[in-house]
Amino acid sequence: MRVTNHRFPGVYVTEEEDRKYLATKSLTQDIQSFYGERVVKVDQDVYRQWSPRRSKLSAAIQNGLRELPIQPGSRVLYLGAASGTTVSHVSDVVGETGLVAAVEFSAKTARGLLRLAGLRSNVVPIVEDARHPSRYTSLLTGTVDVVYQDVAQPDQARILSDNLRTFCSFGSWGMIAIKARSIDSASDASQVIDREITNLDLLGLEVVEEVNLEPFEKDHMMVTVRVR
Amino acid sequence: MLVYLVSTAYGLFALDENSRVLIEMWTYPDIEKSIQELSQLNQGETTDMLGEMVNRVRALNPEAVVVEQPEMARALTNTGLETRLETVSLPIKWFRTALVDQLVNAKTAGPECDTKRFLKQVAVGLAQQTITRASEERDILTKQAIDAIDELDKAINIIAMRTREWFSMYQPALDRLVEDNEVFSRLVTNVRTSENVDLDALREMGLTAELADAVVSSSVSGTGGTLSEQDLEAIRTLAETVENMYRSRRRLEEYIQTMMKSIAPNITALVGPVVGARLISLAGSLKDLAARPSSTVQVLGAERALFRSLKTGTDPPKHGVIFQVADINAAPYWQRGRIARALAGKLSIAARIDAFSKRDMGEELRLSFQRRVEEIRRQNPEAPPPRPTKRGEPRRTYRRGRGFGKPSGRGGRRH
């Protein structure tokens, strides 16, 4: 078992028998896994494998994402946190000096998120509707560097831009996992995604890069944007 | 001048247009108090703190008060202050993102992690409150019960089939004779050996005289093997399981019935508790069901057919789970689409009343739906001619007009 640094700070690659896996260094140094991921201990550090099948952000990195705005020290607003699978890795990456404010609307799935918040000091759980950022402005003071959006909804792009407008200023980043099927289930996926990217542009966001998430997710595109 | 009101986890602040603090009212470092303030404000309620803030703002005699949250604007409606809602207001945003943390740190003169921890504990407290409230939602409890019934049905089917097959080693005729799984299982648990099968016992188990006769005669002349008491005991174990599952199913149905009567009386009056619960389960919750357009309600539960039609252009489904309502499944096929549409419309109305007002209009809705069904029957007594099957030809559409068919004695529901 070898661990090397990935070119993104805070992301690692573990190698065993010529197979490589993405991983993050566990913030809690706990050898317990959080959602069933593999945990490996190398020297004094604990690494958690980050499967591209379980997490769209990992899939994007695997598929050659050029820039990752989420870095050690980043303050991230994470929309659509679900039970906290990807959030746990984002929390590893940003570390003690960073912050992840994780928004999830469904109370049922947010239970896992609450458990994660109990384990990690840098995760702030918010059980609210990401469509209405004003409902959680009181819980998120200070700057936000990145808004990560994985809410599969027809008005995905608008939800991202509303949150960027509420919490961020010029130069902040947004990442959005566009799911063609939840925007329009009938027409051609690549057209739907193109239309949504045009939408982002119309909403005043600069589209920086696009990464297709095949074969890990069907008809998904991870798009990175910046506030102009 | 304008006064800007900001609610944060640390307290309430009034600012001028340069984000300078005019009035500060702290909840920090009292976690409990902060949680309470925020949860009340989030529901648009006025709190004592807000009341006091309003009085102090009034003394400044502002031209208007600017807030970011619609809920806060609602709480300020009867205060006599002119309120403006700006979803993103620059002075407030500047305060939220840059100033408030400095302010709090200056107040505590402590390390930054202290304020960070405070904010987090408030967030966790609020999240817990929301989650607790959600797990007490009665419609979600009903959803669990109806989902459990559907799973029980699947399990009953599997195990009853096994019981039948197994018991056929002993008395093959019974499988054909008794169709009802529950009766079959009851027979199996009660049959000791072929000698003790007597007519009266069978009648008590709910068999018709005819059936009982048939069972007795078949048990005398069977092609089945002779099984020992031990073998039969094993089969009985399984049969008892089936009986138990039927009992559980009935109990759950009763539970759903009482729950549905209290949470959704209007839906229940229209389609009965079980179909109503299924609709709520498919939509996610009663409020979700109320938020759906009736065209969606009409096909809830027929998602596969719906998406197939969207993708490949086949005919869209006429009905989802509402097909289980007798008015639809007992109607002739060419009337079903119209009846389903009418029922879905009434269901949407019922769901909205149940979710938001609690009036009891069930009877009225039911009656007007029945009237519409009568009308549909009158107007479409005959099956339409078969559609041209050649592809590419335009579909025939049937104009909905006033038919002049006399209401006939036929065409009613058969019981």
> What tens digit of pLDDT does each residue of B185-243 get?
988 887 765 555 666 667 777 677 777 777 777 666 666 677 778 888 899 999 999 99
On chain B, the residues whose CB falls within 8 A of the CB of A140 are 96
Please tell me which of the candidates A114, A144, A185 has its beta carbon nearest to residue B124. Answer: A114
Q: Is the per-residue pLDDT at B254 higher than 50?
A: yes
**Residue A185 contacts B, CB cutoff 8 Å:** yes
B321: which DSSP letter?
G
pLDDT tens for residues A25-74? 999 888 899 999 999 998 889 999 999 999 999 999 999 999 999 999 99
Task: Report the pLDDT value the prediction gives residue B196, as an integer from 0 to 100.
Answer: 55
Per-residue confidence band for B412, with pLDDT thresholds at 50, 70 and 90: very low
Q: Which of A15, A164, A99, A215 is nearest to B87 (CA)?
A: A164
CB contact under 8 A, B133 and A186: no
Burial per residue of B197-220, b for 16 or more beta-carbon CB atoms within 10 angstroms, e otherwise: beeeebeebebeeebbebbeebbe
Task: Report the pLDDT value the prediction gives residue A209, as an integer from 0 to 100.
Answer: 95
C-alpha distance from A131 to closest chain B C-alpha (Å): 12
Alpha helices by DSSP H, B173-330: 173-177, 181-190, 199-204, 209-220, 229-263, 265-283, 286-291, 294-299, 303-312, 326-329
Task: Report the pLDDT value the prediction gives residue B409, as an integer from 0 to 100.
Answer: 40
Q: Is the per-residue pLDDT at B384 higher than 90?
A: no
Residue A38, number of CB atoms within 10 A of its CB: 14
Which of A141 and B112 is assigned the larger pLDDT? A141
Nearest-5° Cα angle at A206, A200 to A207:
70
Q: Which of B199-203, B318-322, B375-379 has the lowest mean pLDDT?
A: B199-203
Task: Report the pLDDT value the prediction gives residue B414, as an integer from 0 to 100.
Answer: 40
Residue B140 corresponds to which tokens in the numbers above?
């979600």
Q: Is the per-residue pLDDT at B398 higher than 70?
A: no
Question: pTM of the full predicted structure?
Answer: 0.80
Please tell me which of the candidates A110, A137, A169 has its beta carbon nearest to residue B131. Answer: A110
- Residue A162 to residue A159: CA distance in whole angstroms: 5
pLDDT tens for residues B41-86? 888 888 889 889 999 998 888 899 999 999 988 888 888 888 999 9
The residue type found at A207 is V
Task: Report the pLDDT value the prediction gives residue B110, as an integer from 0 to 100.
Answer: 65
Write out the H or E segment, with its range, that includes residue B200: helix B199-204
Q: Which residues of chain A have pLDDT under 50?
A: none
3-class DSSP state of B155: helix
- The stretch B138-148 carries a mean pLDDT of 91
CA A154 to chain centre: 19
Interface with chain A: mutation pick from B42, B96, B104, highest number of A CBs within 10 Å:
B96
- Percentage with pLDDT > 70 across chain B: 87
- Residue B242 to residue B223: CA distance in whole angstroms: 25
- Residue B39 to residue B46: CA distance in whole angstroms: 11
Task: Report the pLDDT value the prediction gives residue A152, as an integer from 0 to 100.
Answer: 87
CB contact under 8 A, A111 and B311: no
Burial class (CB in 10 A: 0-12, 13-18, 19+), A162: buried
Residue B274 corresponds to which tokens in the numbers above?
């079980």
- The stretch B87-110 carries a mean pLDDT of 84
CB contact under 8 A, B127 and A166: no
**Residue B101 contacts A, CB cutoff 8 Å:** yes
